[in-house]
Amino acid sequence: MQFLIHYLKPHVRRMAGGMTCKFLGTIMDLLIPALLAYMLDGIVPTKNAGQIYLYGGLMVLCSILAWVGNVFANRVAAGVARDCTRQIRHDLFGKITRLTAGEMDRFTIPSLISRMTTDTYNVYRMTGMMQRIGIRAPILLVGGIIVTMTRDAALSALLVALLPFMALIVWFISRKGVPLYTEQQKNVDHLTRIVRENLTGIRIIKALSKTPDEKRRFGQINEALAASETKAASVMAVNGPTMQFLLNMGLVLVVVVGARRVHFGLTGPGNIIAFISYFTIILNAMLTITRILTMYSKALASARRIEEVLDGEEEKAPDALLPLDAAAPHIQFDHVTFSYNKKEPDVKDVSFSLQRGQRLGILGPTGAGKSTLIKLLLRLYDPDEGAIRIQGADIRSLPLETLRRMFGVVFQNDALFRGTIGDNIKLGREISLEQVDRAMADAQAAFIRDKGGLDAEVVSRGQNFSGGQQQRMLLARALAGNPDILILDDASSALDFKTEAALRAALRAGYGNATTVIIAQRISAVMQCDQILVMEDGEPKGLGTHQDLMQSCPLYREIAQLQLGGEQDE
């Protein structure tokens, strides 16, 4: 909750204004029955028409003031809630972009999405509600009790007798109902996650005829959610009618006791009417408070989930760039070991060193740790042991901006964004049209011209293009920035052999200065590299040229024989 106070602070004055209006509006509401009682008991018997109009007019004035005050206050409340939540969403999004990759793994993406959306919405609702009925209900409750006490102590005793019962209900709701709502919220999260996974993977689920399984999985959580809703609702269902019952009983008692008191001339009938109004006001305020409690607990859970992310660990790097050593190797892995879960290493003791302009191929079966090496090089994760250096400087000593700007990267599961082809290639960078054209040509993306050029539309995740076309656009994106270091993680797997060979030739001709790291399943994509690193189960199994490895590395030889058959030259 601490963080909410921080976000509300800039709006304190506005909130104070709104709440004052709410306060005054509510007091006006409270005054009306008292005025009515006075009119009925004090003025009507005197038959003084002038006075009757005066007090009638006063009641109308109170109603108008109450209306104005409440409308103004509600608008201010909505405004504060909106501005405060907008800022939270803004900061939350910024924070998510700065989270370390490890933290992203910990929170998971679906959960981050629901924290950005559902949870911020719950907080929005609560901050709005607290300023409106959060102020109004207690004033009506306390104010109502005080007014009734001063009007007629004997009748108030009835109310006091009912209060413990009402308190009991509030206690019951907060002890029993609220945890049930928390459980329900968890089930909603779970359901959302399953739906999201399903819709993302709908093609594969259909292709593998897993639909019945998925339906069952969805059915289970849907049932669980329905069950928790039933439970919460059946507890909450007691709330309203019980309060209403108490209200009715109270009213009956007020009428019975009140009638006797009127009969004995202890009070006027107007007073009884006012009392009945206050009774209704007080009990409704109690009901509202139980609603606030439910909402509050829901929003509290959401606020905690948001706070967790805001407190998440950020990527840290120094701001200043130390001079780099031009004579040192461009990229150097020095006995690098890393584990995602900090148990079994996913990459063990990897060392290599590349001079500027050299090409490294990384080859190995899936799960061998190839992409992990790239993530370490980009500093998405930090090694547990050893160091990665660029021109002699440990990458942990480089500002992140500087480090990441050196790279042109095509990741294995990269996606295009919704927009035009041109937007996707430029990706917000200052890149000239000639550069884009050249990158497209080098990436063998001539098909773009047939598709309508750079202004052609790309739908979300690039699904209106084939896998190979997407890959070439991603390649063009990486090449367009004229990177110092080019990283291609399985970037040509969807290209046919001829296109792949043309791409390799274009890279050699146009990007000789860029140090290149190529991850591939196909040996033909890496066999001409200056060095090839063979990985298996996170361990380096060989490092050298194609010829070296054919001699020294049984795994490499095996892959070569499988893929190239007898002839090992391209």
The string over 113-136, giving b where at least 16 C-beta atoms fall within 10 Å of a residue's C-beta and e elsewhere, is ebbbebbbebbbbbbbbbbbbbbb
The distance of closest approach from Cβ of residue 281 to ligand ADP in the complex, given in angstroms and rounded to an integer, is 57
Question: In terms of CB distance, is 364 or 408 closer to ligand ADP?
Answer: 364
Question: In terms of CB distance, is 29 or 414 closer to ligand ADP?
Answer: 414
For residue 324, give the nearest of 266, 402, 386 by alpha carbon: 402
Tokens 């939540």 sit at which residue? Answer: 85
Question: In terms of CB distance, is 192 or 412 closer to ligand ADP?
Answer: 412
The distance of closest approach from Cβ of residue 454 to ligand ADP in the complex, given in angstroms and rounded to an integer, is 32
The distance of closest approach from Cβ of residue 365 to ligand ADP in the complex, given in angstroms and rounded to an integer, is 7
The distance of closest approach from Cβ of residue 469 to ligand ADP in the complex, given in angstroms and rounded to an integer, is 23
Q: At what angle do helices 12-38 and 49-98 cross, to 10 degrees?
A: 150
The distance of closest approach from Cβ of residue 543 to ligand ADP in the complex, given in angstroms and rounded to an integer, is 16
Dihedral angle, C-alpha 426, 431, 433, 439, nearest 10 °:
-70
Element (H, E) at 534: strand 531-536
Tokens of 5: 């106070």
Question: In terms of CB distance, is 209 or 413 closer to ligand ADP?
Answer: 413
The distance of closest approach from Cβ of residue 325 to ligand ADP in the complex, given in angstroms and rounded to an integer, is 29
> DSSP 3-state assignment of 246?
helix
For residue 532, give the nearest of 361, 351, 292 by alpha carbon: 361
- Determine the longest span between alpha carbons in the chain, in angstroms: 119
Question: In terms of CB distance, is 104 or 262 closer to ligand ADP?
Answer: 104
x/- letters, 498..537, toward ligand ADP (CB under 6 A): ----------------------------------------
Q: Does 172 bind ligand ADP (CB under 6 A)?
A: no
Strands 485-489 and 407-410: parallel
Question: In terms of CB distance, is 539 or 548 closer to ligand ADP?
Answer: 539
Contact positions with ligand ADP (CB under 6 A) in 341-370: 346, 364, 366-370
The distance of closest approach from Cβ of residue 364 to ligand ADP in the complex, given in angstroms and rounded to an integer, is 6
Instruction: Tell me the HSE value of 159 on the side-chain side, using a 13 A CA sphere.
Output: 26
Contact positions with ligand ADP (CB under 6 A) in 368-427: 368-372
Question: In terms of CB distance, is 440 or 529 closer to ligand ADP?
Answer: 529
Q: Give the list of residues 6+ apart from residue 90 with CB closer than 8 angstroms, or none.
A: none
Contact positions with ligand ADP (CB under 6 A) in 99-118: 105
x/- letters, 320..339, toward ligand ADP (CB under 6 A): --------------------
> DSSP 3-state assignment of 485?
strand
The distance of closest approach from Cβ of residue 302 to ligand ADP in the complex, given in angstroms and rounded to an integer, is 26
Instruction: Tell me the HSE value of 333 on the side-chain side, using a 13 A CA sphere.
Output: 26
The distance of closest approach from Cβ of residue 1 to ligand ADP in the complex, given in angstroms and rounded to an integer, is 32
Question: In terms of CB distance, is 105 or 384 closer to ligand ADP?
Answer: 105
Strands 539-544 and 531-536: antiparallel
Q: How are the residues of the chain apportioned to helix, strand and coil, as percentages rounded to the nearest 5? A: 70, 10, 20
Contact between residue 25 and residue 73 where contact means Cβ atoms under 8 Å apart: yes
Question: In terms of CB distance, is 397 or 493 closer to ligand ADP?
Answer: 493
- Could you list the residues that contact ligand ADP (CB under 6 A)? 105, 340, 346, 364, 366-372
